[in-house]
Amino acid sequence: MHPMLNIAIRAARNAGKVIVKGFENLESVEVEEKSLNDYVSSVDKEAELAIIGTLRKSYPDHGIIAEESGVDEGTNMDYQWIIDPLDGTTNFIHGIPHFCVSIALKIKGRTEVAVVFDPIRNELFSAVKGRSAQLNGYRTRTSSVAKLPGTLLATGFPFKQKHHTDTYLNIFKDFFMDVADMRRSGSAALDLAYVATGRMDGFWEFGLKPWDIAAGELLLKESGAMLTDFNGGNDYMKSGNVVAANPKLLKEMLTVIRKHVI
């Protein structure tokens, strides 16, 4: 196993232990609102500390971008870990068992290692650049469907950017008229992992953050899928606007989205 993947998995599992313990005792979890409709729990913070502590033991000089604690550039600028300790906090605090840990490593600006860990289902999605993606040790492949009819798409509502509501609903309506069905799970990192494994055929969402996307980006690429912004370009880390699917279906999805987004 790639040594840095091994450490990333260890960090994700350590965070998973914190999350599961908290999930079993939700009445003792402290929750605060960071911004409108954006929540953080004491478990988010504790899980993030578990991840950072694990990474620092092996790589004390690496940079870290973490959702809750921000940016630590480190002394070795070639290595940067991107962490979401608990993607799906709203699900977590409401007792809905659908959330994950997301960890990615960029080396000289390129994502080389990715882990998405669902501690409730004990599902570990992982990837190393150029070595395929896996789910619990088995190689993953994205869906091969080429057209929208019959597909199952995942999405996320723009709850932090409600000024996009009308645009979002228009896109949703156009998709909904063609596809078999739609899902909104509450964890973008898991949605991307599910597209990578073929559980979902495609995914789209407004306004995500780098820690929502970074690990899923590599899982998708190593499973034969693509990730773009709404223009079909590579500006998704900056814009946060994401579309993911196999290349043929992605083209179909972008055609719909571009009718509503300039």
Is the pTM higher than 0.75? The answer reads: yes
Residue 225 · residue 186 · CB < 8 Å: no
What whole-number distance in Å separates Cα of residue 192 and Cα of residue 86? 15
DSSP assignments along 49-87, one per residue:
HHHHHHHHHH-TTEEEEETTTEEE--SEEEEEEEEEEEE
Assess whether pLDDT exceeds 90 at residue 78: yes
For the chain, give the mean pLDDT. 95
Q: What is the CATH code for 152-258?
A: 3.40.190.80
3-137: what CATH class?
Answer: alpha beta
Sign of CA dihedral 138, 99, 219, 65: negative
β-pairing verdict for 202-205 and 226-228: unpaired
Cα 59–chain centre separation? 23
Report the pLDDT value the prediction gives residue 33, as an integer from 0 to 100: 84
Question: pLDDT band for position 190 (50/70/90)?
Answer: very high
Nearest-CA neighbor of 195 among 187, 206, 203? Answer: 203
Q: Which pLDDT value is given to residue 37?
A: 66
Residue 56: pLDDT above 80?
yes
Q: Are 186 and 137 contacting, i.e. CB atoms less than 8 angstroms apart?
A: no
The count of other CB atoms within 10 Å of the CB of residue 180 is 12
Average pLDDT over residues 139-159: 96
Q: Are strands 76-87 and 62-66 parallel, antiparallel or unpaired?
A: parallel
R_g (Cα) of the chain, nearest Å: 18
- Domain residue spans in the chain? 3-137, 152-258
Share above pLDDT 90 across residues of the chain, in percent, rounded to a whole number:
88
Distances in Å between the alpha carbon of 207 and those of 146, 155, 193, 254? 26, 12, 18, 16
What's the mean pLDDT in 71-89? 94
**With 70 as the cut, is the pLDDT of residue 1 above it?**
no
Residue 164 neighbours by CB distance under 10 Å: 16
Diameter of the chain measured on Cα atoms = 52
Task: Give CA angle at 102 (158, 247), nearest 5°.
Answer: 65
pLDDT tens-place string over residues 20-48? 999 999 999 999 887 766 788 899 999 99
Strands 100-107 and 181-183: unpaired
Question: 15 near 47, Cβ under 8 Å?
Answer: yes
Give percent of the chain above pLDDT 70.
98
Phi, psi of 11 (to 5 degrees): -65, -45
95 to 88, 113, 124, 154: CA distances (angstroms): 11, 30, 21, 21
Other beta carbons within 10 angstroms of residue 159's beta carbon come to 14
CA distance 235 to 224: 20
